[in-house]
Structure 1
């Protein structure tokens, strides 16, 4: 085959073209290799970026298939990434852990479906079950280049630490908000005005107390109008003072006067810088404190002026043991000058200077003595001691510690009082000796009724125990003890009344009581000048007995005079009546008026009867006189009482029958006595005549003879009982004295000397006569013979 030049050219061209094509291919291949290498490098870089990215992608297709890196599986606690979203659910009771809760998975699938359909993004936060991990999910519709077909791309962020920090920040913010609200509320409710100025020193915040103090409608009006509470001081406005505080960054405090609620008040104002943000301020009303301080200063001045007027010395030492005040008596006692007080002399130096002036006791170790006195500042209670000074002066020193560590030193010159006390003791001993030497029993009672003083005779007079008086008993206790020794214990109240009258009523009162031992005491309560009461007691037993004897003797003499008078009056009647009868009938006989022998015989019988009556009365008088003189002749003989009384009754039979009376004689034979028949007959006859005369018609008289005792050893009793008119006690006393029973009734005859004579005649036979009579009931006369 011939090779032509054209063929060679063509071959050359083909080879050239092939070479060029090969070169192009090589160039393109080299470029593609470089591009592939760059893509692989970019892919590795992107993979590395995804691995270290804070968010992990989760691609969810429409059918639920998912694509995600294994790191997400580890984050969810899974061994590997499943193919479907539903497989991310944590098994219930399974051995494998991890995954999402079914409710979380359902919520996530619902949001993903919404995004796939509407392309709306969503956000979601979940906490993995059984773990402290918190995840934030941000879902969007995936780019078609990433996944065509409407897949959803979910970015998952692990914000566990951020969540904890956010929770902490939220709690801190909540606390800060609460604290700020509480602080604002506290500032708003604070009773003191408070305000805040910004860095421009303009009022930015005020509380309600500030608003009320300036009288503004509200806080906004105060801030808007920049209404100041405080007034300018020395040409400086409150803002200027706050500016100085802000610049110096140092808190300032001052006391100013301001008008609050229409009144001038003293305020303590404080400005507090708050960095460079502004200045806070508040004002405290100290008007009351200032007023108290002023009152305290006035009180202190008044107290010191008062202490200057006292007679005792008073000195004040402060907590640093310095002399701050001394009144005039103290300065006079210790020869202090005003300069020494104004120089605040220390306590140690004060004692040293006092020693130099001879105003301290003489002691052997003065430094030790001074140290002991310096310890007074640490005492818990007051301490008192006596200072005997040279020259005979005696000081009473009282150290009173103060709560602030100071000391009040009280000194009193007791030289004169001690001298007076000695004189008083002498007077008291003299008084005690004087009281003890008195015959009267004395006791002094205090106004409260207690026994203060008594002499030796007091206890013996009342029969008291001296131990009771040593206890200074009250008046009630003393009266109870005295009442046991009285005849009538209730009379102790009379003594108490005398004590009360002397101590409380300040008047004298006296009385008299009888003791059980027979003594009679006279007492008197006398008020004393010192407010006490004196009870003086005198034993008047002897004088009382003498007085009683004199009184009885006087009564006996008066009674004798009365008896004599009654005797004379009675005898004049008893003698005059028979004499008048005799004289009258004798005159009738002489005049011839009784010419008839029968009438003359009647007159003669009347004269003889009167003579008999007169003879009887004369014999009664003679017998009574002889009996009282002890000269009555008694001729005793043995008498049978029944026969003797029967004879007496027979002699008066006519009078008994004439008076319409009945008489019973109750006796036994054999009752024998030794007696004078005439004298005993006259005695019993007089008693029987009185019974006949004192018993009205229809009455009864009983005469009974009985032994005084059953064995007959006590004698015989003769009782004459009638149921007549009887006598009262006064009438019986008069009848026993021999006077008339009654002068107002003509029907009653006089008893004459019947009862007194009968008593004397019976007494002459060693017997007794007892008469018992009651008005309207009758009379019983009882004769007792041995």
Structure 2
């Protein structure tokens, strides 16, 4: 188009010059005609000169513009060539078999896929099957990546995840947003990176298991605690915090509130070993009342953990039973009728004075809680029982 305009301008310039020459030739005879004709010639020549000047300026401007456009065209071609080279290089990098990239343009539901993952990961090669994460990832990993992709596309929330495939392979997933596009990069990890990722997964599993266990311990009505290597409280459950009258479990740890008295803690520290945990009954004050706890405290190289079972009610029942038995024993001891009580293993548990006087047996022997057979043998030896033909069968 520029060439056609330039050719037309040249033609118009030549025509103008030809017309100017013809008018100049005619100006000689017309000069004798008078002043009016001379004025007309001057105006005509001036207009022609103006047109010629404008045409020449336009032609010069167009020549410069054409040169500038040709230079810009060469520069754009050079930039296009560089861009194509960069795109080819990037596509070669993206096309690595150890990674795959999924790109969404805005809110479009149709993604673009670049690259592939190794076949041993179990990742589908077909684009339509790749986003069905539940088919080739473990359920936990599939749920995590699906939530992460949804937040990435709806809220532009970036993420970095470690995923496990159904074939026990480890992948790294990175989600980012750039230039109105959301993309997720899946990378197959090898060697040290894979080992680090597996350690991270193991750590996450341990943290989840510990969190679950601590959540369970918070729901039971038994004080539970965990100590660091230096003996300071590292974690307690809600029952422990309630027993020491703390605001919450975190407050009990921060303030170092102890459930057990100092003497009991020193005893636990001295008696507990890695192989044999401490097990004993400990008395302490809870809410202003004397309480009894069966304490189990296990020790490890990194600290210790313990649990306390409140047995105050059991101790009260036991003490009541002891008092009752003592009262009954005192009553039976004053009876004139001989009484002896044996347990399920046939060992003597109680006897009254009438029983001892009747058989004339040493108190030391009776206090040793002899068995029924031993007692009969002693009575036979002392001549308190008649001789039997078959003594063993008689016993």
TM-score (norm 2): 0.48
Between 1 and 2, higher relative CO (CA 8 Å, sep ≥ 6) is seen in 2
TM-score (norm 1): 0.26
Greater gyration radius: 1
